[in-house]
Amino acid sequence: MFERAEARIDPSAIASNIALLKKTSGTNLLAVVKADAYGHGLVEVSKIALNSGATWLGVALLEEALIIRKAGITAPILAWLVPPGSDFNSAIKSDIDIAVASLASFKEIIATGLRARIHIEVDTGMNRGGVDDEWNEFIKSDFSSVDVVGIFSHFARADEPSEKQNLQQLERFNEKVKDFPIKPQILHLSNSAATLKDPSSAFDLVRTGIAIYGLTPDLAHLGTSSILGLKPAMQLRAKLHLAKKVPAGSPVGYGASELTKSDTKLGVVAIGYADGIPRIAHEAGVFIDGKRAPIIGRISMDQFVVDLGADSTAKSGDWVIVFGDGSRGEYTADDWASASGSINYEIVTRIGARVPRIYGTHVY
């Protein structure tokens, strides 16, 4: 048992989310586990996802894919942010599928003399990754020494289902596929939002990230996790380092930026911005005694203070929930995102390595 803070990850929630996404899409599912599985734990979540019905794993970085391989996981892995100069030899020898977004990368892969499994990333209008201005030259390349496993692209606004750019990207994707001289084994385009809202883009594989962790891809346009049928998998909790009574008008924290409005009890929560708590957040807090306790004062590197209320029975050493699934009234990752002007992706992904991940049913 860790005695300061911990992120509890519920495997059954991830399994439930994957089942929902597979049922909705009617196709195969790639679990996106980049960025330490959005803060949930790279290797453990990879295993959970595969045991729950995912058939592929996806990462941004080659080093992430190599960690998965070193853990003994043999499922197909796609790495899509592998720029020129990367260790293509190790990728190919480790049976890692490589995304190709430029002629430069393709030429380096060919130069290894090894037979690589590649996925051609095409730019369909996001103007971020993918072959675009080199396309006409690229499709004239000799592909005989590689296995073209897939062609894929990425939506820019799938979390806004009514936006016409989504249909435009789908049409451009289909055009690029027709242009390509070789028929790939699979086509993939859908992210979490498209998987939930656009079955026409499912093709042979959907790439789902934020949704497998039970978080909505976009609160404003798609609604809450609950509305989407998703179950948040992470509960972040921490100990009260100290609980103490203070009089009205007491200054709190660095800069004395806030004063207590009345006689109250304060709680010092043993987690801070070094652990990934957004320093800018002011309208969030923790859950204890069956109610919310809001932040008061500035968030510090290792701790922050909450106003527990004069009638609180909380005591030093008690656990508080920083965020969870919201079912008991606690703050959610969406609440923390709103409080810091960000998105839920960032809230869970930024939780630092010194906060241990514990796998099992949430404990309240």
**CA quadruple 295, 284, 351, 45: dihedral positive or negative?**
positive
Query: Which residue is listed with tokens 């809202």?
Result: 197
State phi, psi for 121 to the nearest 5 degrees: -90, 125
Instruction: Look up 254 and say whether it is catalytic.
Output: yes
259 — phi, psi (to 5°)? -120, 145
**Distance from first CA to last CA of the chain, Å, rounded?**
15
Classify burial at 286, counting beta carbons within 10 Å of its beta carbon; exposed 0-12, middle 13-18, buried 19 or more: buried
Lookup: tokens for 235: 């509960």
Strand partners, 5: 238
Residues linked to residue 151 through DSSP beta bridges, in sequence order:
120, 187
CB within 8 Å of 7: residues ≥ 6 apart = 39, 40, 234, 235, 236, 351, 355, 356, 357, 358
Q: Using CA atoms, how far apart are residues 100 and 107, in angstroms rounded to an integer? A: 10
Q: Is 288 in a helix, a strand, or coil?
A: strand
Q: What is the DSSP string of 273-284?
A: GGGT--TT--S-
Locus of tokens 């911990």: 6
d(CA 205, CA 203): 6
Instruction: Identify whether 34 is a catalytic site residue.
Output: yes
In which residue are the tokens 């990752």 written?
333
Q: Cβ atoms within 10 A of the Cβ of 175, count?
A: 11
Phi, psi (deg, nearest 5) at residue 287 = -120, 125
Task: Say if CB 148 and CB 120 are below 8 A apart.
Answer: yes
User: Are residues 351 and 39 in contact, defined by beta-carbon separation less than 8 angstroms?
Assistant: yes
- Residue in 22, 34, 231, 239 annotated catalytic: 34
Q: Which of 23, 244, 254, 315 is catalytic?
A: 254
Angstrom distance (rounded) from CA 345 to CA 335: 12
- Residues annotated catalytic, as ranges: 34, 254
